[in-house]
Chains A and B, each alone.
Chain A
Amino acid sequence: MKIHIPTPLRSYTGGNETVTIPGTTVDAVFTQLTTTYPDLKQHLFTPEGKLRSFVNVYLNDDDIRYLDAQQATAVKDTDELTIIPSIAGGSPAVAEEIALPKLSNEEIARYSRHLILPEVGMEGQQKLKAAKVLCVGTGGLGAPLALYLTAAGVGTIGLVDFDVVDESNLQRQVIHSQSTVGKLKVDSAELMLKGLNKNVNIIKHNTMLTSANALEIFKDYDVIADGTDNFQTRYLVNDACVLTGKPNAYGSIFRFEGQASVFATKEGPCYRCLYPEPPPPGLVPSCAEGGVLGILPGLVGVIQATEVIKLILGIGDTLAGRLLLVDALGMNFRTLKLRKNPQCPACGTHEIKELIDYDQFCGIEKPTSVGPLEVARDKAVAEAAIVDGIPQITVETLKKKLDAKENIFVLDVREPHEYQIANLGVPLIPVGSIESRVAEIASHKNDEVIVHCRSGARSQKAALALKAVGFTNVSNLAGGILAWADKIDPTMPKY
């Protein structure tokens, strides 16, 4: 029978494209073939005598691997055998597979403490240089993340943020500084990062991360680091990571506690495996409402940066499949095991095939002036004269009423520690205690009551609660004590 030899093997068959070998079975033909052309043997078979995995043999139009023994055995002289090595390949899925970029002498000097670590070494440092990491948010977590990744020599860092630097950010967002207050956060961060390492390539995404742009932004990066502080963006980042197959170095913080993990790796669970659904809106306050120990995001962000570096280098055990819990007050670190949920709509059943409306998923209204990165989960109070039946009065109107000594009752519904920072000298009942302590102010039921808080959101809730228990004339102070400090009393501190 005729055997067709592929180009690379013809040097072992005397240059012949076709050789004719007698035999009645495939096995016999092969034995005869390798006897006639002994050099062929090692190219076709493993030392154990098995056909090499990349070599395909076709009997006429059929792969002999898929023919049953009898068919494969019996061959006629008119049959043809074709030996055909496989053709496959592909572009690198991750940066490390491409030829790695070289380091300059300046870089070799800069990264010498990495280079002498065998686990990093020259190849590892080149991998870092080739890597592209996206930091979602340049806030408390994003600041140490981006700074350490830049210092470590990650070649390309993408920054997503649309906010501007505010003085209240500087207590923890160490990537920004006093001189950049009022600037765009991405510009401010770039200034700091470039100052730290001139070699880093910064890609600024001065935009809100949304379902419309997330996949497009993510596709150019190898690793995503989620430094957001709200649930909408967290689910958005998770789903986009699962859809694009990029690992997510996750961190989150609240008051004195933090969490970190690595989600959406090939084998590991995703954020939805841990939390299939977001908590009801308002249950978990944001940092803006609940406060946060300034150093905590430093701690957690550096853990995220460590995980990013490990993912790039492929060393150690990442937090994939584990949730790290950080308690800064007790200074305890615990890890919980996480399992991949086979029913997970994102990474299990792959029911989620595209990004959804995450504001709706998390039960909140579209963000207005407060952005998704520092958003308040409370419904922002609309700018209208009357909201849900509660008149909204301005600080100027309140000032006039106070100056005119009108018979009004002003109530502060913030927390006692906020009262210490600044107050209007009026009674205080925190919004959470209004219903239980309503008896204390029952005498004002028919007076004009004006409720205020920090910015006007909690006081709106309190006003609704008072109205519900029979108060007849309740108004909300729009903009809260912050507006008072802005427009009436500039000496008052803002927080």
Chain B
Amino acid sequence: MLRIEYSDYEALRAHGEQTYPNECCGVLLGKSITEPGIASMNSVQQIVRAGNTRTDSAHNRYHIAPQELVKIQRQARTAGLDIVGFYHSHPDHPAQWSKTDFAEAHWIGCSYIITSVEKGKAMTTNSFLLTGTEEDNKKFEDEAIEIMMAHIDNQKGEA
């Protein structure tokens, strides 16, 4: 399961709308929680926007420069967080992983969020957990997203 704050969830969807018709991409920072008796959970505490370096085919490809990733990882470390996943958008395509997504996914145990953006409007957001132990047996599993509304409820309560 993936747990994410409502504001982060909305922000990553909005990112896809802003970069439309090109793909957006970014990194999910947080903690991977494994407790006995329950399935592992990636808990997102911060999202970091990344630049899509695929200028040649940005509408249907994304790539995060490794150097940018090194910086993001360093930033995460400073904050005591890990990279727990990535997000990107599919302009005018379903929120379903493609062959390319699968072939290029190497972060086993991480969540890959995909948002379909139709005609500039963010539609469906799905998360897929890359499971397995190595390249040869990795696979994407549908992953439930738990959206944390707590902060919003609090704000409402105070108002």
Contacts and interface: CB of A to CB of B under 8 A. Distances in A.
Interface in B50-96: 50, 54, 57, 60-64, 66-67, 69-70, 73-74, 77, 82-84, 86, 88-94, 96
A92 B83 contact: no
A86 B84 contact: no
Nearest to B64: A87
B101 A56 contact: no
B98 interface: yes
Nearest to A89: B101
A74 to B, nearest CB: 20
Contacts of A87: 25, 27, 50, 63-64, 69, 86, 104, 107
A403 B109 CA distance: 95
A43 B83 CA distance: 18
Nearest to A62: B67
A408 to B, nearest CB: 63
Contacts of A4: 73, 77
B67 A58 contact: yes
A54 interface: yes
Nearest to A9: B108
Given A7-B32, A90-B62, A91-B98, A85 B106 contact: yes
Contacts of A8: 106-110, 130
Contact of A7 (B83, B91, B97, B98): B83
Contact of B73 (A6, A90, A91, A92): A6
B109 A92 contact: no
B134 A89 contact: no
A42 B108 CA distance: 14
Interface in A344-377: none
Contact of B66 (A56, A90, A98): A56
A90 B106 contact: no
Interface string A44-84: 00000000101110100101000000000000000000101
Contacts of B98: 89-92, 97-98
Given A8-B109, A89-B88, A89-B101, A17 B82 contact: yes
A91 B102 CA distance: 11
B124 to A, nearest CB: 13
Contacts of B156: none
Contacts of B77: 4, 17-18
B106 A7 contact: no
Contact of A54 (B32, B90, B104): B104
A206 B135 CA distance: 50
B154 interface: no
Contacts of B106: 8, 54-55, 85-86
Interface size grouping (class) on chain B: 35 or more
A59 B100 CA distance: 28
A42 B135 CA distance: 10
Interface in A1-37: 4, 6-8, 11, 17-18
A283 interface: no
B5 interface: no
B105 interface: yes
A46 to B, nearest CB: 10
Nearest to A55: B106
A99 B140 CA distance: 13
A404 interface: no
B108 A88 contact: no
Contacts of B100: 88-92, 97
Nearest to B109: A8
Contacts of B32: 7
A116 interface: no
- Counting chain B CB atoms within 10 Å of each CB, the highest count among A18, A56, A84 belongs to A84
Nearest to A219: B92
Contact of B104 (A7, A56, A86, A97): A86
Interface in A280-301: none
Contact of B134 (A17, A43, A82, A90): A43
Given A89-B62, A89-B88, A92-B100, 6 more contacts: A7-B107, A8-B109, A43-B134, A87-B50, A90-B54, A92-B98
12 contacts: A4-B77, A52-B135, A63-B66, A85-B107, A88-B62, A88-B63, A89-B88, A90-B98, A91-B93, A91-B98, A92-B98, A98-B96
Interface of A: 4, 6-8, 11, 17-18, 42-43, 52, 54-56, 58, 61, 63, 82, 84-93, 97-99
Task: Rank and list the top 9 A-B pairs by shortest CB-CB distance, nearest first.
Answer: A89-B101, A90-B61, A91-B90, A85-B106, A91-B93, A56-B66, A88-B104, A88-B63, A8-B108
